[in-house]
Amino acid sequence: MNIHEQKKTCKIIDEFALYLMRKGQKKVNVDINLDNENETIIKVKTTNLQPEVIDKLMTYINQERELEIEEYGWELMGESDVSNELELVGLLIDRLDIEFEGENCILILRRKH
């Protein structure tokens, strides 16, 4: 994985974790799997995630990945205090899956290289 891919992964994690903290999450665990050459998998585990937060994530994150915007837009992430940052995360990943284990919510972000 090249340095730009690593930076994009870090920006995705930063924006996603910041969003969850702003929504009141007190415990956020992040697991990054870089073992697969073709895909990066980011698992974010949190507790008691509110349904309205899940709905917003599904709306903003599960959209079509746009490679044209990705090439330039990812570098601007984190530069402002705008809610559109979550939409930029959606443009950088291919899929968001959500799993529940008791009170735990596991958000799985997948990004193909």
Low-confidence residues in the chain, pLDDT < 50: 82
- pTM of the predicted structure, to 2 decimals: 0.84
Query: Is the Cβ–Cβ distance between 49 and 66 less than 8 Å?
Result: no
- Give pLDDT, residue 82: 46
- Give pLDDT, residue 69: 65
- Give pLDDT, residue 41: 97
Place of tokens 């073709």: 38
Q: Where are the beta strands (DSSP E) in 10-79?
A: 28-33, 39-47
- Give pLDDT, residue 24: 93
- How far are the Cα atoms of 45, 65, 89, 91, 98 from residue 70, in angstroms, in the given order? 25, 8, 9, 7, 23
